[in-house]
Amino acid sequence: MTPPRTQPAVDVIEATELRLVEEAPPQLSAAHQVARDRVWDDLAQANPFLFDGPVVACTSLDQSNPHELILGWARVTYRNFALRRVPGARSLPSLFVDVLQPTDDGALLVAQMSVATAHPGRWHLPGGSVEPPDVNKPLDTTALRHNAARELLEELGIDTHPDELTLWALTCGDHGNIGVHFAAPPQPASVLKDRFTAVVSAAAAVGQAPELDRIAFVHAPADLKALEGPHVDYLEPLVDRYARIIL
């Protein structure tokens, strides 16, 4: 008998170009709206760090051209994702960006989410959900690259110019969530540790919890098993792909 999977399958999408097209979000019935709001209120009561701010959701995915991924997206708020817990409701996947930050010796930085996040204790790559642009500004790869650079600065204190980030991989994983993964230039591990320590200290000085609890450096998927706590579904496939390229 085949043992059950411990986490959902993740597709690594082989595409070198990404085109984003804004679409309208699907209409919800009154019953689904009420059920969604009830679920969201329960989640927010259990985790006071949740907030119902603007966020991008994925509405469609097309790869007719093997080298190009066309991604439809819509402007929603975070409570949209509570629809995943409403039977019969259509739930839109999320869109997120993150950064593969390597060290000079070929390791890859991974980070553990703090209690100030929606998934405390979970290991991931530094990054986050994509917020919709201003009405007159496009959402494109350039905008995503700027988003990823901002996340890197906020979470790790690493000020990398967006133009230095390279589109490295696209993934489709849990709930159909789409990840856009960028690679940053290598940095000494000592610099990464010092910058992260400075971010944590700065947050503590103003009475705030940092977004990340701690960081670690891994060379291969086997190294993830030594980390205490769960990790996001895409982390192992990306670490494996990274290790193969480095070797």
Mean pLDDT computed over 126-134: 94
Q: How confident is the model at residue 50 (pLDDT cuts 50, 70, 90)?
A: confident
Q: What is the mean pLDDT of residues 238-242?
A: 94
Given pLDDT bands bounded at 50, 70 and 90, which one contains residue 141?
Answer: very high
Partners of 13 in beta bridges: 170
Q: What is the pLDDT of residue 116?
A: 79
- Report residue 64's pLDDT band, with 50, 70 and 90 as the boundaries: confident
Among 108, 204, 198, CA closest to 155: 198
Position 12 pLDDT exceeds 50: yes
* Contact criterion met (CB below 8 Å) for 95 and 56: yes
pLDDT tens-digit map of 86-95: 999 998 999 9
What is the DSSP code string of 158-224?
----GGG-EEEEEEE-GGG-EEEEEEPPPB-HHHHHHHHHHHHHHHHHTT---SEEEEEEESSGGGG
Domain ranges of the chain: 11-246
Nearest in space to 25 (alpha carbons), one of 61, 60, 63: 60
- Mean per-residue pLDDT for 218-227? 94
What confidence score (pLDDT) does residue 119 get? 83
Helix (H) or strand (E) holding 178: strand 178-183
Q: What is the mean pLDDT of the chain?
A: 91
pLDDT, tens digit (0-9, with 9 covering 90-100), for 144-174: 999 999 999 999 999 999 999 999 999 998 8
Confidence of residue 4 (pLDDT cuts 50, 70, 90): very low
pLDDT band at 1 (very low <50, low <70, confident <90, very high): very low
Per-residue pLDDT at 135: 83
Q: What is the CATH number of domain 11-246?
A: 3.90.79.10
Rounded Cα gap, residues 151 and 134, in angstroms: 18
Distance CA 165, CA 197 (A): 23
According to the model, what pLDDT value does residue 247 have? Answer: 63
Interval 173-187: pLDDT, tens: 888 999 999 999 999
